[in-house]
Amino acid sequence: MRINTNYWAWPNALSVDACQQLIKTYYDEERAIDAKVNGLHGDSVQPETRITNVCWIHEEDPISVTIMNFALRANNKAGWNFDVDSIGPVQMGQYLPGGHYSWHTDTTVTDVDALNTQRKLSVVVMLSNPDDYEGGGLEFDRLNPTSVPNGQGSVYVFPSLMEHRVLPVTSGVRYSLTGWCRGPAFR
């Protein structure tokens, strides 16, 4: 494991077999939908911002629990100490050639739900073998972009307020999981 001021990383934390099984189990072409982006007028498909096909995994599924455990460990080890107590549905994303997600954050300070909770920690799990696609890198910090390795099975945890992006995939297919841990609204 490795700490950075922006994120906590576990390189190759999940086995190749586990990653392949997750894709096989949870990515269903028939259920996949175009990813939506939260905008001023609600959620909508915005291809200039994001092109990703997604399937959703219930928060009580074992992989969701695993993702939550990574987030809790990173929260403690990195010293963020956010008050987090749950994870919502986890998203499996498929990025085909041209797929991307421009600079964004996963929450804002005012992004609070009806239960007065909000996303505090984001978790990304790289599922694809990096030899199976080109591009698609995960980057943090728009002012000083930092790329992270695309290692299969690698897990990255970072504060949901951190700006990040997924660079365009130029060939092949990139699969990843993304989960968001929630807690009482920031004060």
**Spatial separation of the C-alpha atoms in residues 122 and 159, rounded to whole Å:** 6
What's the whole-model pTM score? Answer: 0.92
Give the per-residue pLDDT at 45: 75
Residue whose C-alpha is closest to residue 35's, from 24, 22, 48 = 48
Give the per-residue pLDDT at 3: 44
The whole-number mean pLDDT for each consecutive block of 10 residues of the chain, a chain of 187 residues, reads 70 96 90 75 76 93 95 95 94 96 89 85 97 96 91 97 96 97 90
| Residue 168 · residue 102 · CB < 8 Å | no
